[in-house]
């Protein structure tokens, strides 16, 4: 409740409501004190009833704050920042966040589907979902996550691109392949490491036939090395001075030069892991140790893609 009292030459207005801190303010006029008490009490009771008018910031303003305070702390900062800046080009980015409904995101998803893959759409939806979770849980905006109420596109079947011996011969021994790129490709095939991990290799992290990877996608790990892999790393001109974006671009250009179609650098990792299972006879847990996968289902996809003839050969040994 609210009440007034005369305090010296002023009127003091006091609002006391159970469950809220006491509020007090002094006025020269009794009328002003009464008006403030009435409005303050009404505002608090409306908020408790959930009918107070809340100011919701625009998505574009919170998106910039998210980049500066949340994204910047992530390993994927550059990729996530690029995605969010792309979202700011959408008309709905100027809406208050409470006006961005599932129908808004669903329409955005359908528009994207005309030009990008389901995997790309899901990655962008993941970013939007993470942002709305932050808006609600960390920044206190009472909004629902619109991404949770829409149907996601199906993820594309995992890539099963394997390089032929002729393609690998061109990539490794071709005249257009620089010594640096040749070394990186060889390491990828011999270790199954991710592109970003290869670029951070430090020869000081080699101990015997193992390599420590202190900065990985999920958590630090130690991987076993073949003699050829250890020799290739020790003979490389480390550290590599390329960013993963520059390297990816160089690899694509190299494939185009050699007329190797539908090839990604990450396919080298897939090829290496398949070879570990097929040629070295490693099982899924052993290959997981090398790959750094936390979910065995990732490698089961690789294992299931092995030729039936390979399984038949094992059965008949």
What is the predicted pLDDT for the residue at 127? 96
Q: Tally Cβ neighbours within 10 Å of residue 265.
A: 21
- In contact, 191 and 213? CB cutoff 8 Å: no
Given the candidates 1.10.1370.30, 1.10.443.10, 3.50.50.100, 3.30.9.10, the CATH classification of the domain at 165-315 is 1.10.443.10
End-to-end CA distance of the chain: 87
Quickly state the pLDDT bin for 301 (edges 50, 70, 90). Answer: low
Kindly state the percentage of the chain with pLDDT values over 90. 36
What is the predicted pLDDT for the residue at 169? 92
Packing angle of the helix pair 77-87, 118-137 (nearest 10 deg): 90
147 contact partners, CB below 8 Å, separation of at least 6: 102, 105, 125, 128, 129, 132
- C-alpha distances in Å from residue 213, one per residue of 206, 285, 316: 9, 18, 38
What is the predicted pLDDT for the residue at 134? 95
Least confident window among 52-61, 172-181, 299-308: 299-308
- C-alpha distances in Å from residue 279, one per residue of 271, 285, 309, 313: 11, 16, 13, 12
In this structure, what token pair is assigned to residue 63? Answer: 């998106």
Taking 70 as the threshold, does the pLDDT of residue 19 lie above it? no
Q: Give pLDDT tens digits for 224-244.
A: 888 898 889 888 888 888 888
- As a whole number, mean pLDDT of residues 179-196 equals 91
Taking 60 as the threshold, does the pLDDT of residue 5 lie above it? yes
What is the predicted pLDDT for the residue at 23? 80
Q: What is the pTM of this model?
A: 0.64
CA distance 133 to 143: 9
Taking 90 as the threshold, does the pLDDT of residue 305 lie above it? no
What is the predicted pLDDT for the residue at 71? 93
Q: Give pLDDT tens digits for 166-177.
A: 999 999 998 898
- C-alpha distances in Å from residue 240, one per residue of 190, 196, 233, 246: 17, 11, 11, 12
Q: Which residues pair with 210 in a beta bridge?
A: 207, 224
What is the predicted pLDDT for the residue at 243? 86
Token pair 């420590």 in the structure block, residue: 212
Most confident of 11-20, 108-117, 276-285: 108-117
- C-alpha distances in Å from residue 63, one per residue of 81, 215, 225, 280: 9, 28, 43, 48
Taking 80 as the threshold, does the pLDDT of residue 105 lie above it? yes
Taking 60 as the threshold, does the pLDDT of residue 303 lie above it? no
Cα 290 from chain centroid? 22
What is the predicted pLDDT for the residue at 108? 94
| pLDDT: which is higher, 145 or 288 | 145
What is the predicted pLDDT for the residue at 2? 77
| pLDDT: which is higher, 125 or 280 | 125
- As a whole number, mean pLDDT of residues 306-315 equals 66
- As a whole number, mean pLDDT of residues 42-53 equals 64
CA distance 79 to 77: 6
- In contact, 215 and 199? CB cutoff 8 Å: no
Taking 90 as the threshold, does the pLDDT of residue 285 lie above it? no
Give domain limits for the chain.
2-49, 59-149, 165-315
In this structure, what token pair is assigned to residue 78? Answer: 């550059």
- As a whole number, mean pLDDT of residues 28-35 equals 87
Peptide bond into 238 cis (omega under 30): no
Taking 70 as the threshold, does the pLDDT of residue 74 lie above it? yes
């Amino acid at each position: 409740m609210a009440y007034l009292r005369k305090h010296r030459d002023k009127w003091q207005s006091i609002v006391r409501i159970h469950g809220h801190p006491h509020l007090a303010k002094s006025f020269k006029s009794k009328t002003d004190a009464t008006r403030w008490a009435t409005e303050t009490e009404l505002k608090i009771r409306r908020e408790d009833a959930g009918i107070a008018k809340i100011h919701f910031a625009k998505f574009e303003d919170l998106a910039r704050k998210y980049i500066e305070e949340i994204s910047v702390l992530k390993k994927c900062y550059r990729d996530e920042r690029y995605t969010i800046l792309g979202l700011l080009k959408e008309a709905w980015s100027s809406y208050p966040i409470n006006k961005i409904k599932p129908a808004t995101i669903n329409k955005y998803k359908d528009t994207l589907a005309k030009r990008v893959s389901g995997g790309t759409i899901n990655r962008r939806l993941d970013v939007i979902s993470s942002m709305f979770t932050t808006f609600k849980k960390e920044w206190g905006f009472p909004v629902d996550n619109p991404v949770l109420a829409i149907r996601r596109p199906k993820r594309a079947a995992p890539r099963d691109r394997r390089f032929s011996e002729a393609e690998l011969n061109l990539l490794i021994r071709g005249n257009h392949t620089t010594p640096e790129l040749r070394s990186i490709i060889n390491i990828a095939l011999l270790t199954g490491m991710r592109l970003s991990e290869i670029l951070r290799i430090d020869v000081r992290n080699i101990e015997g036939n193992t390599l420590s990877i202190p900065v990985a996608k999920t958590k630090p790990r130690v991987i076993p090395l073949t003699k050829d892999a250890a020799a290739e790393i020790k003979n490389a001109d480390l550290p590599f001075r390329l960013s993963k974006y520059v390297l990816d671009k160089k690899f694509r250009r190299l494939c185009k030069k050699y007329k190797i179609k539908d090839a990604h650098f990450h396919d080298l990792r897939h090829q290496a892991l398949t070879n570990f299972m097929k040629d070295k006879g490693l099982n899924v847990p052993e290959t997981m140790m090398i790959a750094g996968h936390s979910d065995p289902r990732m490698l089961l996809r690789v294992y299931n893609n092995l030729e039936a003839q390979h399984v038949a050969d094992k059965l008949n040994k």
